[in-house]
Chains A and B, each alone.
Chain A
Amino acid sequence: MIRRQEIPNLAVSVLPLGIILLAFFLLPFARLLVASFGGPQGPAVYGAVLMDPRYLSSLVSTVVLALAVTLVTLLISGLAGVFLDRNRFPGRSIVVAMLTLPLAFPGVVVGFMVIMLAGRQGVIGEIAKLVAGRNLVFAYSITGLFIGYVYFSIPRVILTVMASAEKLDRSIEEAARSLGASSWRVVIDVIIPGLMPAFVSAGAICFATAMGAFGTAFTLATDINVLPMTIYTEFTLRANIATAAALSVVLGVITWIVLAIARTAAGNTVAAAG
């Protein structure tokens, strides 16, 4: 429904956006690429980054951490989200509010929440002292980071699961039940496939977030070996701009690819289901 004479107006509508994206995103990303090639090693920096045990172990532990966070968050949020969508009980809206309130807590604050839970004076340690007689501290390590990322991811995944569960066609479940399927079979054959697009897209966002997250690690301990911390250290402490840029490009490309694949997959599943 675009009329030819409207084209100048349409152009004016998107021109500011175009300028912002070009000047402050595309150009900086291009410069980042150039900077990564511009070090003493030249383009070989990418080979070095992927071969060097230090960077490689950082990359691997980040990917493993992000995968674990994604799986655990999907499991927790899937169970709680479907339950909250299907049941009405007194206080339900308060429970939903409490679960989704930390939605926009920044990573630094999430890190502090982990310290409150599992830090030196944390509540888990206090309980452990009462029960087992010794303090239990795991905030300042990759375990603490894992807890923090799960904490951070639960609100948004629960919201997605609830929105998606609400749209499930209940008559398919009833049909399955009337044909004699057990509750388990209904969950496995009807509910989980129905929620799959939501799981895929929420899971991809969860993974990408955990890959690029920075604030939580920064609050917990600066020596946690995850990729964003490595980039930060290379850039600020070692002034190794080419390596930092190359690692950033690798990180950006990984998260971008994961999100792109998930979008396509979720789209296809939606199409297949509908």
Chain B
Amino acid sequence: MTLLKTPPALARLTGGRRELVDRLFAVQSLVALLVVFIVAILASPTRDGEILFLTAGNLGNIVRAVSEIGIIAVGMTFVVLLGGIDLSVGAILGLSAVGTATLMVDSGYGIAPTVPAVLAIGAVIGALQGYATARLGIQSFIVTLAGLQVARGLARIWSGGLGIPIAYGDGPLQAPPAFEILNGSINGVVPVPAVLFLAVGVAAIVVLRTTAFARHVYAIGGNEKAARLSGVPVTRVKVAVFAVCGLLAAVAGVIHAGQLNQGSPNDGAGYELDAIAAVVIGGTSLSGGSGSMGGTLAGALMLGVLNNILALNNIDANVQLLIKGLVIVAAAGLQRLRRGVA
């Protein structure tokens, strides 16, 4: 865990070097990602002198593996910046995967009506949750805990409790072959879900840095009363943020269906926790009002690299969990330290 020891050691330095520390902390997620990456290279098994971790195939797999969590984490970042939390995203992913498989295979609709319909379902569930938190004043934790149950229940009812396989072809009960692209790669190297993840991530960075909407999100998360008195349309912003989060969870659900060639109602369980972990590791404060999208992307990739290197080394899955837990605590500890320094 050398990666996590470096910043606290730096933090002990005083005087002129403080500035350097501050600057390092400002991009800490990137620095940490870089450190994890280097550690992964060093710890990687080799075959015929080739570092397995660094092979194009493996790197592609890492990003493919984190793409669903990553996309969900992007939506989660907006919610957390607002001072909220969304526990329903994993269930929405499951519901969307089921919806995709059902509409496309069982009902025989094409991609064009299916995907927008599924995304709309996710956005509407999110918007309803946002409305409930904003207007009824129920904590988002509780609202989305309920939303989780509802979405999961809907997924099971809709699918009859069973996974719906997706077969490709032009016949009845077959999905359009074009949908299989989600399982493919560009030039056989860059997986399509990875491209979608990066596209969503970059768009979110731009939104968060340049729009009035983002300013409103930060303002509400920092001090909701002040935001309201400053004329920020609090309800509208909250509804929009939760809608975006639901929409992105649905995007992840569509990708999930495409990658696994099926829509299973139980998929995505626990994804909300991985997404929250990525957000926290990325330095966004759970109390709202401060954080960055770049941090979340780095956090998601970091989790991916970590998973990958542990798997490459055949580390026991239970030990993997343990290590991930420690990393999250350490990351959260670093956030506190950073506030202490500043």
Asked if A pairs with B, the answer is no
